[in-house]
Amino acid sequence: MCSGRCFHFFFLAVIFDVAGLIIFFLGIFAHFSFSDFFVQSGPIIIFLSLVFWIFWYLGNISKYMYGQKKRTFRLFYSLGKLYLHPEN
């Protein structure tokens, strides 16, 4: 499956997106006396789904990136040491 390792966050994010769209379009096309509530709460639910998308993304970050950051830090540290404190 293409959802990655954190399937539960992916599933919740998609459910919140679909529910937010359904509620939003229900508020637009259905003529209730309180349809403005649906028009405003749909995008809020979609916005709350961003929390689950961020959790899903963070759960799928591989450990390779952490090693990459360490190597990059070592490179900048050695360059800074070379140029700021040259050995005589």
pLDDT of residue 7: 83
pLDDT of residue 88: 47
Cβ count near 23 (within 10 Å): 20
Interatomic CA distance for residues 16 and 1, integer angstroms: 20
Mean pLDDT along residues 41-69: 80
Angle at 85 between CA 79 and CA 88, to 5 degrees: 115
Q: Render pLDDT for 68-86 as a digit per residue (tens, 0 to 9).
A: 556 666 666 665 555 555 5
